[in-house]
Amino acid sequence: MNLSVKEKITLGALIVLLCTLFVLGFFYWRSYVITVQEKRCYAEAVELLNQSRTAEALTIIRTSKGSASPERYEEWVSLEIHALEQSRNIHRLLYLYGQSPASFRKHEEASLLVERALLKTQNMELFNELRNEWSSHETRPELWFALDVDTLLSQGKKDEALELLNSREFEGPADCGRLVRLAILKAGDDLQGAWTLLEKAYQSAPRNPDVRSFRAQILEYTGNPNQARVEYVAAHLAEPDNPLLRDQLAEYYRRQGNYPLALKTWAEGMNQRSLDFLWLKTIFWSKISYPYQIDWSSYALPEGELLPLITYLLDLPQEVFWDENALKDNPRVLRLADTRQEIYWLRLIHALKDGSETRAMDLIKSNPHKQSSYHPDIERALQIILVYRRWGVLIPPDGDEAPVFKVQEQRHQFFEQLDHLAQARTTLAKSKPIPYKIENLLKSDEIFAAVFLAGGWIEAALALHKMPLIPEDFPDWVSYGLTQAMRYNRGNQAALEFSAKQKSNESLNLLSAEILLAENNFDEAVSRLSKLTEYKTDIGFRASWLLSLAYLNNGDFEKSKRIIDTHPDLAKSITGKELLGRIALNRNNIAEADRIYGSLVNDSLEAKAYLARRAYQKKDWEKARALTEELLIYFPDKLQLRANLETIAQQREHDNS
């Protein structure tokens, strides 16, 4: 068909128009699909945040934000701030604030978190900008008030901070932060007054982590470690995602010498946003105290100034504490030596392991962390010993008098003996000789292992351990302590193999029997324990208890009871009566179990747990609740107890309805 020129032009124009409409339609449809998909992703992220599934929400946010339309980009940024606020990801919040300060104008809590971080890093220019931004529209004035007080304190303006604290009060729980800060300032001069303020704060907000945290510090300082633990745990549980409260609880366990629990607390806080100092503490303490099993490769390395040191330590084998060759004068690691005590201890242990005693002494003398030493007893003992091994004199470090320790502190007998001997040699010259067992240990290759063993740093002790056979003329606690260290860090079999080579003594025989029981070697364990029960000592008491428990667990209830009946001290003790309660239960003599545990209700946690269960069975909800609440005081981190309380409340409500 022949078309005229005019028709051809018209047809061409029509084709162009159709193509244009098709292209426009395609792009419109594509834009429509993208918009719908973006809205769906946004709604999904919001729902995940409502369910506190922050990590999943952030994955969607970060994927979608990069391809978001310009008009919706700010919404995605705002949602990310909300998610980071929820997860307390301060590092990322700081980054976002640097990129888009204006986005924080509607996020008060996130702004407060950023302000805290800026104050800690002393970036006062940005700090003041953000503070001024919020000065006219605060909705949480008590939090900004606390920040202003902390700012003054960080600048050393204690009097101005005190004046500000006394200038106003807040209603109810909002006054908690002010009262806590007043208590902190008062604690140095008036501990009782500080405690009164804390009690007032606690009454207004019993779940406030700051209140629980400072109560814990005062209780620990005044010699109430068990009560302090309850408060530290409560503070941590109030904000489980707060790394500072987690670190505070772990540090409490460390000060109490419970290194496995300290490591567990630090390690359980490891995640994609872990702070670098938590990594360093976990790595360091697992190298010197207890080899905590953790797959480091499953975590992204943390940001921060400690990253070079963390990378260096992760590359070292477990048995190597420091390696100058591997370090290669890395300035980013070396510049941390004056600020990180971990480097000092790793270098010191490395020097002792290599036999470089002069180098070890030089490190101790130039230690910049002496006033905040992780273990003053170990450090002091090493000073005394290194001087003795070089000069043959036993004197206190630098001529100081023996330190005064609080009554509640549990010091190893070796540290006590060493201080006493060093001081006695100063005041009485050479009138009293050094006990030969101590002297033999001081001169031996095993002395540095013994020091760290006495201090509870058992992984370091095992690394410094050099003598497969501990001589008979060493104190008995050395072979016992090394066996226990092997048991904890190398396993039961390694401990049994080591103990079998040693000269037997009562305490070592008892420990070996205990390990044999753990290994289900019943006959051999019973044989050893039976001999030890004849001793009228603490060893005889524990052997009798273990033997009775062994028979009980083996189903021989008659022999278990006979052991208790033939050892009066055990029969009169709480632990003995608890065993009798278990025997009665295993014999299905519930009335006898009720009687025994009832007599122990004020002294035994086992009795409280049993009687709480019995009260629940009898539907005595009030008694069940009271006993469960008492157990929660001792075990605030036991979630099952909290669940039990809820169940009791539900059952009580059901019965009353």
- Same fold for the domain at 140-240 and the one at 504-600? yes
Q: Over 60: is that where the pLDDT of 32 sits?
A: no
Beta strands (DSSP E) in 296-424 are none
User: What CA–CA distance (Å, rounded) separates 399 from 586?
Assistant: 62
Residues 6 or more apart from 231 whose CB is under 8 A from it? Answer: 212, 213, 215, 216, 219
Lowest average pLDDT, out of 2-11, 14-23, 35-44, goes to: 14-23
User: What CA–CA distance (Å, rounded) separates 180 from 460?
Assistant: 40
User: CATH assignment of 504-600?
Assistant: 1.25.40.10
User: What CA–CA distance (Å, rounded) separates 344 from 336?
Assistant: 10
| Each residue's pLDDT tens digit, 175-221 | 888 888 888 888 777 888 888 888 888 888 888 888 888 888 888 88
What is the C-alpha radius of gyration for the chain, rounded to an integer number of angstroms? 33
Structure tokens at 402: 């023996």
DSSP 525-590: HHHHHHHHTTSSSHHHHHHHHHHHHHHHHTT-HHHHHHHHHT-HHHHHSHHHHHHHHHHHHHTT-H
Q: Which residue from 248, 225, 172 is spatially nearest to 203, judged by alpha carbons?
A: 172
State how far Cα 136 lies from the chain centre.
40
Average pLDDT over residues 526-542: 92
613 by Cβ neighbours in 10 Å (0-12 / 13-18 / 19+) ranks as middle
Residues 6 or more apart from 183 whose CB is under 8 A from it? Answer: 194, 195, 197, 198, 201, 214
Q: pLDDT category, 53, cuts 50, 70, 90? A: confident
Termini Cα distance of the chain: 93
Task: Determine phi and psi for 140, rounding to 5 degrees.
Answer: -125, 70
Helix axes 376-391, 436-443, angle to 10 degrees: 90
Cβ–Cβ < 8 Å for 489, 462? yes
| Each residue's pLDDT tens digit, 586-607 | 999 999 999 999 999 999 999 9
Beta strands (DSSP E) in 169-223 are none
Single-letter residue type at 416: E
Q: Looking at residue 534, what DSSP letter applies?
A: T
Kindly list the distances between the CA atom of residue 540 and the CA atoms of 97, 509, 569, in Å, as whole numbers in the listed order.
Answer: 66, 11, 10
Average pLDDT over residues 565-585: 94
Helix axes 341-353, 307-315, angle to 10 degrees: 30
Structure tokens at 289: 């105290």
Q: Which residue from 397, 327, 408 is spatially nearest to 365, judged by alpha carbons?
A: 397
pLDDT confidence of residue 461: 97
Q: Over 80: is that where the pLDDT of 6 sits?
A: no
User: What CA–CA distance (Å, rounded) separates 333 from 199?
Assistant: 45
Helix (H, G, I), strand (E, B) or coil at 53: coil
Number of neighbours of residue 392 by Cβ within 10 angstroms: 8
Which residue is listed with tokens 């006493």? 420
pLDDT confidence of residue 98: 85
User: What CA–CA distance (Å, rounded) separates 277 from 290?
Assistant: 18
The CA-CA-CA angle for residues 208, 211, 216, to 5°, reads 125
Q: Over 60: is that where the pLDDT of 99 sits?
A: yes
Q: Half-sphere exposure of residue 578, counting CA atoms within 13 Å on the CB side?
A: 16
Structure tokens at 598: 């009832």
Top-confidence residue, 144 or 186? 144
Top-confidence residue, 327 or 6? 327
140-240 maps to CATH 3.10.310.30: no
Q: Over 50: is that where the pLDDT of 408 sits?
A: no
| Each residue's pLDDT tens digit, 593-644 | 999 999 999 999 999 999 999 999 999 999 999 999 998 888 877 878 888 8
Handedness of CA 412, 367, 254, 453 (dihedral sign): negative
Q: Looking at residue 271, what DSSP letter applies?
A: S
Cβ–Cβ < 8 Å for 459, 290? yes
User: What CA–CA distance (Å, rounded) separates 302 from 310?
Assistant: 9
Q: Which residue from 651, 656, 579 is spatially nearest to 618, judged by alpha carbons?
A: 651
Instruction: Break the chain into its structural domains and give their ranges.
Output: 140-240, 504-600, 605-657
Which residue is listed with tokens 């409340």? 649
Residues 6 or more apart from 517 whose CB is under 8 A from it? Answer: 525, 546, 550
State how far Cα 345 lies from the chain centre.
20
| Each residue's pLDDT tens digit, 55-66 | 788 888 887 777
Question: CA dihedral in degrees (581, 585, 588, 589; nearest 10)?
Answer: 20
pTM of the model: 0.78
